[in-house]
Structure 1
Amino acid sequence: MKNWLMAIAGGAIMAAAVWLIIIFAPQVLLLLEGIVGILVGIAGGVILAIGAGGIKSALEETRAKKVEAAKAGFPGKSKKE
Structure 2
Amino acid sequence: MGVTWHPELSDKGARLRNHIFYSLDNCRGCPARLRSLIDKSVNHFQNNYEHCQEDSQCKIVGFVPDYAIIRSPVAV
TM-score (ref. length: structure 2): 0.30
For the pair shown, the structure with the greater C-alpha radius of gyration is 1
- Counting helix residues as a fraction of each chain, which structure ranks higher? 1
Q: How does the TM-score come out when normalised to structure 1?
A: 0.29
